[in-house]
Amino acid sequence: MYIKQRTLAEPVQFNGKGLHSGKTVKLVIKPAPPNFGIKFQRVDLPGKPMISSHFNKVIDTSLATVIGENGYIVSTIEHLMASLSGLSIDNAVAELDDYEVPIMDGSAAVFTETITSAGVVEQNAPRLYFVITAPIALEKDGKAVSIKPGAGRTISCTIKFDHPAIREQKYTLELTDSTFVREIGSARTFGFYQEIEYLRRYGLGKGGSLDNAVVLDKDGIMNEGGLRFPDEFVRHKILDSIGDFSLLGMPILGHIELYKSGHNFNHEFLKEFFKQKKAWKTSPVDTEMNS
């Protein structure tokens, strides 16, 4: 946990394909001043409009997290948002020359490694946190998300899939910069071969391949190199959730627990979170802990 806000030491650039559009996209992430937050800018559009990465800007969560405002969108922001949150970066502007963030290798690793190499700097402004003071829970259709008081940033996740390579997986992470990089950042998105074929028939998933996703057929994993972790699937779900929860605008001090949740249900929980204003407060922290 950091006492002061942080931003990038210098701009970084990425070039890659959009997962669903298949278009080549240029992404440049630049430092931003204190209290700016994380914002996306469409430099390909007239006026170069900018949009905040806040949960109330989310317009779709069916296949990826999509934010939109005034008729323009930015799609598939979750891995980049997870990387920025995992590295405790509070302020940055992400410039795009198309509507979809590049998928890179299907994880947050490329973003994380490049940003870490460029460096992160402390800013002269206090970093505020959502401090959880009472439990909040949402449960529906066999899915559940809850959060309870805790001294650090903890995430527990359980997933269940009727597939021999996944079945039930559980993982708990004490989130710091180093644990994100070591345990979560390189976990790739995953999908099932039959679903990918379905998406392509409808003009989606054009940029997806074995180079940027773990793909499963009915028998097992199709990627020649196999998995990066034995439980890469649940680790990636935690990566996604870090990106989703970053849309609250400030980090959470508490213990998040997820059960069979995804982008859509995480977003439903964020709306519930803001309804339960008596269950949290915003506050700086007195001591720094970020190893």
Kindly report the pTM of this predicted structure.
Answer: 0.94
Confidence of residue 258 (pLDDT cuts 50, 70, 90): very high
pLDDT tens-place string over residues 260-281: 999 999 999 999 999 999 999 9
Q: Could you tell me the residue ranges of all domains in the chain?
A: 4-126, 129-283
- Whether 4-126 and 129-283 share one fold: the answer is no
Considering just the CA atoms, what is the radius of gyration of the chain in Å? 18
Q: Which residue has the higher pLDDT, 157 or 200?
A: 157
In this structure, the number of other CB atoms found within 10 A of the CB of residue 182 comes to 10
Average pLDDT, the chain: 94
pLDDT over threshold 90, residue 203: no
Question: Do 143 and 258 meet the contact criterion of CB atoms below 8 Å apart?
Answer: no
Residues annotated as catalytic (active site), given as ranges = 263
Range scoring the smallest mean pLDDT among 39-53, 168-182, 197-211, 217-231: 197-211
**Considering the domain 129-283 in this protein, what is its CATH number?**
3.30.1700.10
Report phi then psi at 212, rounded to 5: -135, 20
Domain 4-126: assigned CATH number:
3.30.230.20
pLDDT tens string 10-27:
999 999 999 988 899 999
Residue appearing with tokens 């345990």: 183
Q: What percent of the chain has pLDDT over 70?
A: 97
Amino acid 199: pLDDT: 73
Judge whether 63 and 204 are in contact, CB under 8 Å.
Answer: yes
User: Which 3 state secondary structure label does DSSP give 180?
Assistant: helix
Q: What is the pLDDT of residue 16?
A: 97
Q: Is the pLDDT of residue 201 over 80?
A: no
The residues near 266 (Cβ < 8 Å, ≥ 6 apart) are 61, 145, 240, 241, 244, 245, 258
**Which SS3 state, helix, strand or coil, does residue 284 take?**
coil
- Could you read off the pLDDT of 67-122 as tens digits, one per residue? 999 999 999 999 999 999 999 999 999 999 999 999 999 999 999 999 999 999 99
Rounded average pLDDT over 187-214: 83
pLDDT single digits (tens) 157-188: 999 999 999 999 999 999 999 999 999 999 99
Given CA atoms 102, 185, 117, 209 in this order, what sign does their dihedral have? Answer: negative
Percent of the chain with pLDDT over 90: 87
Residue 65: alpha-carbon gap to chain centroid = 9
Please give the Cα distance from 267 to 251 (Å, whole number): 16
* pLDDT at residue 291, rounded to an integer: 46
SS3 102: strand
- The confidence score (pLDDT) of residue 196 equals 73
The distance from CA 60 to its chain's CA centroid, rounded to whole angstroms, is 15
On the question of pLDDT at 204 being above 80, the answer is: no
pLDDT greater at residue 201 or residue 273: 273
pLDDT of residue 17: 95
Cα–Cα separations (whole angstroms), residue 125 to 4, 176, 285: 6, 20, 12
Confidence of residue 208 (pLDDT cuts 50, 70, 90): confident
pLDDT band for 287, please (50, 70, 90 cuts): low
Q: 3 to each of 40, 129, 243, how far by Cα in Å? A: 25, 10, 21
Task: Give the confidence band of 290 by pLDDT, cuts at 50, 70, 90.
Answer: low
pLDDT above 90 (res 220): yes
Within 32-119, strands assigned E span 38-42, 50-52, 58-60, 66-69, 72-75, 92-96
